[in-house]
Amino acid sequence: MPEVLAQLTDVQVHFPVHSGLLLPREVARVRAVDGVSLAIGKGEVLGLVGESGSGKSTLGRALLRLQDVTAGRVHFAGADITHWHRRQLQAVRRRMTVVFQDPEASCNPRMRIGDAVAEPLRVHERLTAAELQHKVLALLEQVGLDASYALRWPHELSGGQRQRVGIARALATDPELVVLDEPISALDVSIQAQVLNLLEDLRRQRGLSYLFIGHDLGAVAHLCDRVAVLYLGRVVEAGSVADVIAAPQHPYTQALLRSVPLHDPVAARARGLQVLDGEIPSPLHPPPGCAFHPRCRRALPACQQNRPELLAFGTRQLACPVATQDAQLPIAS
Ligand SMILES: Nc1ncnc2c1ncn2[C@@H]1O[C@H](COP(=O)(O)OP(=O)(O)O)[C@@H](O)[C@H]1O
Ligand SMILES: [Mg+2]
């Protein structure tokens, strides 16, 4: 494992649900992230997969301190930034950035592309007009857009081109960590591989670390070194891509891999592909015991009561006593 760049330790993000107009009180809480520990090494790409609603985006936002945590610690570059205030965070904001799923989100329709890419530089760096222009054009070129794009408007660009602009913006301040929150999910399938290759090239050229959030396991296998599988706010399995994607042990990971086009279960069913049974339960009322037990074909009675711990088996982590026993995984020393 390379030197750790960013780390979550036992992080919870709960959203309180209030009721009562005059005297609002907390009546429940959405457990979006419910006790997650993970680390991203320098130059490493960690994949984060799981169905919609499993807490991936919330976890990414917590890592970037765009979201306060309910409990646990957030470390970046050796500093405990869990409770840093806005002023202190300014210093790390430029070092960790984000690319969102929706390329529209990173393109203000009233801003020319060049200005959109210049914006983070204007916030974080003091450059002369000439330096700024030079840097913007260099960034556009690095994401495969020639200088003429600087003067264009977002509506003149395709989805793939707009996502390239989103990537240029994220890279503008020379970050060390980029959270990629489903960066290719909204793009045409024909464009996805191009953007994925661009991300791969940029990571190699710049020695970047990524948290790559996605539900396309093919893309995860292509880009990532390690992968963590999230279910209802908890990691159920984690390890190298070779372990987790090639030889999944948790029944949930296995089901995910069988049902690859997760974003379109109707189309998947129509094509005869197996889809995960049932819906992901609400994080407002997670099932007792193992949260996956109501949908698990291998669940034992004990799974309804005991919440499995995430245990280490060599370099793999697994939270399922049934799978552990069947696979006869060695207990870590
Ligand atoms: N600001 C919020 N307030 C209340 N609930 C939220 C908020 N943000 C996310 N959630 C809930 O947290 C859960 C996880 O959401 P999210 O992190 O977006 O999952 P994912 O990215 O895996 O689809 C969902 O049930 C979602 O409705
Ligand atoms: Mg999300």
Percent of the chain scoring above 70 in pLDDT? 93
Instruction: Compute, in angstroms, the gap from residue 56 CA to the centroid of ligand 1.
Output: 8
In ligand 1, which atom is closest to the CA atom of 284?
25
- Helix (H) / strand (E) containing 234: strand 234-240
The 3-state DSSP class for residue 253 equals: helix
In the DSSP assignment, the letter for residue 101 is S
Residue 209 Cβ contacting ligand 1 at under 6 Å: no
CATH number at residue 288: 3.40.50.300
In the DSSP assignment, the letter for residue 259 is T
Task: Please tell me the predicted confidence (pLDDT) of residue 102.
Answer: 82
pLDDT at 259 over 80: no
Task: Please tell me the predicted confidence (pLDDT) of residue 333.
Answer: 44
Confidence category of residue 272, pLDDT binned at 50, 70, 90? very low
Task: Please tell me the predicted confidence (pLDDT) of residue 96.
Answer: 97
Ligand 1 pocket test, candidate residues 58, 98, 285, most atoms within 8 A of CB = 58
In ligand 1, which atom is closest to the CA atom of 30?
5
Does residue 196 sit within a domain?
yes
Task: Please tell me the predicted confidence (pLDDT) of residue 123.
Answer: 87
Does residue 27 sit within a domain?
no
Confidence category of residue 22, pLDDT binned at 50, 70, 90? confident
Does residue 296 sit within a domain?
yes
Instruction: Compute, in angstroms, the gap from residue 53 CA to the centroid of ligand 1.
Output: 6
Task: Please tell me the predicted confidence (pLDDT) of residue 27.
Answer: 87
Which range of residues forms the domain containing residue 240? 4-20+35-327
Task: Please tell me the predicted confidence (pLDDT) of residue 261.
Answer: 53
- Among residues 37, 98, 44, 103, which one has the least CA distance to residue 66? 98
- Among residues 49, 60, 100, which one has the least CA distance to residue 218? 49
Q: At what angle do helices 129-142 and 113-124 cross, to 10 degrees?
A: 120
Ligand 1 pocket test, candidate residues 30, 54, 57, 100, most atoms within 8 A of CB = 30
- Among residues 217, 224, 282, which one has the least CA distance to residue 253? 217
Does residue 188 sit within a domain?
yes
Count of other CB atoms within 10 angstroms of residue 261 = 15
Does residue 153 sit within a domain?
yes
Task: Please tell me the predicted confidence (pLDDT) of residue 305.
Answer: 95
Does residue 99 sit within a domain?
yes
Which tens digit of pLDDT belongs to each residue from 147-161?
999 999 999 999 999
Task: Please tell me the predicted confidence (pLDDT) of residue 231.
Answer: 96
Q: Out of 171-180, 181-190, 229-238, 259-268, which region has the weakest mean confidence (pLDDT)? A: 259-268
Q: What is the mean pLDDT of the chain?
A: 91
Task: Please tell me the predicted confidence (pLDDT) of residue 129.
Answer: 94
pLDDT at 131 over 80: yes
Does residue 29 sit within a domain?
no
Task: Please tell me the predicted confidence (pLDDT) of residue 20.
Answer: 84
Nearest CA to ligand 1 atom 6: 15
Task: Please tell me the predicted confidence (pLDDT) of residue 138.
Answer: 98
Taking residues 98-126, report their average pLDDT.
Answer: 89
Beta-sheet strands, E only, within 142-233:
177-181, 209-213, 226-231
The span from the CA of 232 to the CA of 291, in Å, is 7
The 3-state DSSP class for residue 292 equals: coil
Task: Please tell me the predicted confidence (pLDDT) of residue 174.
Answer: 96
CB 276 within 8 A of CB 53: no
Does residue 30 sit within a domain?
no
Q: How many domains does one find in the chain?
A: 1
